[in-house]
Amino acid sequence: MTSSDPTVQPVPASVVEQVDAADVTLSNPKRAVIALGSNLGNRLETLQGAVDALEDTPGLRVKAVSPVYETEPWGVAPGSQPSYFNAVVLVKTTLPPASLLERGHAIEEAFKRVRAEHWGARTLDVDIVSYQDVISDDPALTLPHPRAHERAFVLVPWHDVEPTAELPGRGAVAGLLARLGSAGVEPRQDLELRLPE
């Protein structure tokens, strides 16, 4: 389903703007989009823990959190792993991209993320989808995320929380999603991630 489904309500832009206007704690912050995923352990608790850990990061404020979606694992045989819970978080930060990546890895490690195999199951995945309008081919951190435009499990929740979003170098998220479709990305309306206070 896409966010055009009347049962899935996107976060109103006015809510995001209100939070932005109220935040005077960061000087000249940059906007970043972070995708979260978990398919081991208590998936919802892990995603909430990641949101809270991001908010606890000096120089970073969580601005919006998407609805939770359940999806099949990417790049592996169907049924070979548990399904994922996915969400997208919008943040404002004074951290440079490399430091934001480092913080993401630290949060993954705090939740016992193991990098034993490519496309392996994981307790937590923290991916920087985009950072302001930065386009970079740096192998340590390619921006925007090189496969974000192919991943409905990133685009659907991002579109829900920011319907007018643009993926740098790729265009409007709504247009990317219209071409890609959203098969297999199922809204979990019984679950909710809290925006840190």
Q: In a 10 Å sphere around its CB, with 0-12 CB exposed, 13-18 middle and 19+ buried, how is residue 166 labelled?
A: middle
What would the pLDDT profile of 153-192 be if each residue is shown by its tens digit?
999 999 999 999 999 999 999 999 999 999 999 999 999 9
The pLDDT, as a whole number, for residue 125 is: 93
The pLDDT, as a whole number, for residue 60 is: 97
Element (H or E) spanning 62, and its range?
strand 60-65
The whole-number average pLDDT for the span 5-16 is 40
What DSSP designation does 150 have?
G
What would the pLDDT profile of 43-69 be if each residue is shown by its tens digit?
999 999 999 999 999 999 999 999 999
SS3 46: helix
> CA 125, CA 108: separation in Å to the nearest integer?
6
Element (H or E) spanning 32, and its range?
strand 30-38
Q: Is-catalytic flag, 188?
A: no
Q: Which domains can be identified in the chain, with CATH numbers? A: 13-187 (3.30.70.560)
pTM for this entry = 0.84
Q: Is-catalytic flag, 113?
A: yes
User: Percentage of the chain surpassing pLDDT 70?
Assistant: 81
- Return the residue matching tokens 């995923």: 37
Catalytic residue (one of 103, 125, 151, 160): 125
> CA 101, CA 51: separation in Å to the nearest integer?
15
Residue 22 has pLDDT above 60, yes or no: no
Q: Is-catalytic flag, 5?
A: no
The pLDDT, as a whole number, for residue 197 is: 80
Query: Model confidence at 120, in pLDDT bands (50, 70, 90)?
Result: low
Q: Please state, in angstroms and as integers, the Cα–Cα distance from residue 121 to each residue in 79, 83, 94, 144, following that order.
A: 12, 9, 31, 23
The whole-number average pLDDT for the span 109-131 is 81
Catalytic residue (one of 43, 61, 103, 113): 113
The pLDDT, as a whole number, for residue 19 is: 40
Q: Is-catalytic flag, 56?
A: no
Which residues 6+ apart lie within 8 Å of 161 measured at CB?
Answer: 10, 11, 16, 64, 65, 66, 67, 88, 90
The pLDDT, as a whole number, for residue 6 is: 37
Catalytic residue (one of 43, 61, 103, 122): 122
The whole-number average pLDDT for the span 2-11 is 41
